[in-house]
Amino acid sequence: MNVTPQRVAVYRALLQAEDHPSPEELYRRVRRRMPSLSLATIYKALDALTRLGVAREVSVISERKRYDANLDRHHHLVCTRCKKIVDFYDDGLDAIAPPRRLSAFVAHSVSVQVMGLCGRCAQDTPRSRQKGRRACN
Amino acid sequence: MNVTPQRVAVYRALLQAEDHPSPEELYRRVRRRMPSLSLATIYKALDALTRLGVAREVSVISERKRYDANLDRHHHLVCTRCKKIVDFYDDGLDAIAPPRRLSAFVAHSVSVQVMGLCGRCAQDTPRSRQKGRRACN
DNA sequence: CTACATGCAAATCGTTTGCACTCCA
DNA sequence: TGGAGTGCAAACGATTTGCATGTAG
């Protein structure tokens, strides 16, 4: 893994940012100082920084929309490998009240996601860290 | 809002599903009994069901990828209107341990998202429920 | 008759990929 | 000289939209 001006610029912009910017947003910002930079490079740099472990994606459940007709209060186990989502119920977690010192923020709901590997995926790849999705169920 | 065979079929499939299906997945399932159904109708029906309040999107922070260079343990306030994401720290939440009776699931991290409206959006629309994104900061 | 819902195809948007080119080790 | 990184453009996949048609009130 190599240190390049582009990666440094992206990382700097990310460090300075307070707002969890999207790749496009970072592009807009970094390009001011480095007009030659391309959007594809932003994506590649973010991937590099993430693999390096100095940045991460804000927990996104999955790349697709997912729907639920279960309106009960519940939480989700999300397998980061095969993207399976399993409900789980937990009174303790339900009891979480949004902290009150949220200034002006009006909370509507609290959702807890436990990220990890489902049984099958955990067994399947004891140590390997493959990229991409896997068929599971 | 109107009850149609298509909407009923989509809702039924969603009720029976245990796995938080994506629109495409629902399409595959519903089409078995209603081959004329189109994918676009699935999307429209899901939108209708969501507006009706009988279904919901599994909490997706935003439609875009969002990155963070802050690796400290922290949680997120997500404004569902303007998509702003604000960090917050809370020792109580940090103390959440993934329940152990998760069968084979291997938990790596727990993330808490408080969904709601940021101050500006809450003020802006006292009662209206507009669709779409808003510029905020 | 009118308003709304459907199905299709085209358009859009974010993200990824292939490739030629450059740069430094 | 070769492997890695960049920039561009094309490809891709999910979602949305426009529009002609159908249908129920």
Domains, chain B, ranges and CATH? Answer: 1-71 (1.10.10.10), 72-137 (3.30.1490.190)
**Could you give the percent of chain A with pLDDT greater than 70?**
83
Chain A residue with Cα closest to B123 = A104
Closest-CA residue of B relative to A80 is B108
Residue-level pLDDT at A87 = 86
Q: Do B19 and A137 touch (CB under 8 A)?
A: yes
Q: How far apart are the first and last CA of chain A?
A: 35
Q: Give the pLDDT score at A102.
A: 64
Q: Report the protein residue whose CA lies nearest the C1' of nucleotide C6.
A: B41
The answer to whether B41 CB sits below 7 Å from nucleic acid chain C is yes
Distance CA B6 to C1' C13 in A: 27
Long-range contacts of B46-49 (CB under 8 A, 24+ apart): B46/A65, B46/A67, B46/B10, B48/B1, B48/B7, B49/A67, B49/A69, B49/B7, B49/B10, B49/B11, B49/B14
**Which residue in this structure is represented by tokens 């610029």?**
A9
B48 contact to strand C (CB, 7 A limit) = yes
Mean pLDDT of B75-97: 82
Report, in angstroms and rounded to the nearest whole number, the Rg of chain A calculated over CA atoms: 19
Residue B119 confidence (pLDDT) above 80: yes
Selecting from A15, A22, A96 the residue whose C-beta is nearest the C-beta of B69 gives A15
| Alpha helices per DSSP H over chain B | 5-16, 23-33, 39-52, 91-94, 119-124
The minimum CA-CA distance between B66 and chain A, rounded to whole Å, is 4
Under 8 Å CB pairs connecting chains A and B tally to 218
| Inter-chain CB proximity A108 and B61 less than 8 Å | no
Return chain B residues 60..119 having CB < 7 Å to nucleic acid strand C: 63-65
Query: Who touches strand D, with Cβ under 7 Å?
Result: A 1-2, 4-7, 34, 36-38, 40-41, 44-45, 48, 63-65; B 22-24, 39-40, 43-44, 47
Q: Which residues in A lie closer than 8 A to residue B86 (C-beta atoms)?
A: 105
**Gap from B135 CA to C4 C1', Å:** 31
Query: Which H or E run includes B85?
Result: strand B85-88
**Contact residues, chain A, for B93 at CB < 8 Å:** 96
Nearest-CB residue to A19 (from B108, B109, B137): B137
CA distances to A59, A131, B11, B43 from B48, in Å: 27, 35, 10, 9
- Residue B129's pLDDT band, with cuts at 50, 70 and 90, is very low
Q: What pLDDT is stored for residue B100 in this prediction?
A: 62
Using 50, 70 and 90 to split pLDDT, how confident is the model at B79?
Answer: confident
Q: Which of B81, B78, B86, B61 is nearest to B125 (CA)?
A: B81
User: So what's the pLDDT on residue A134?
Assistant: 56
Question: Hey, CA dihedral for B103, B105, B108, B114, is it positive or negative?
Answer: negative
What are the chain A neighbours of B56 within 8 Å (beta carbons)? 67-68, 71
A109-113: average pLDDT: 84
pTM over 0.75: yes
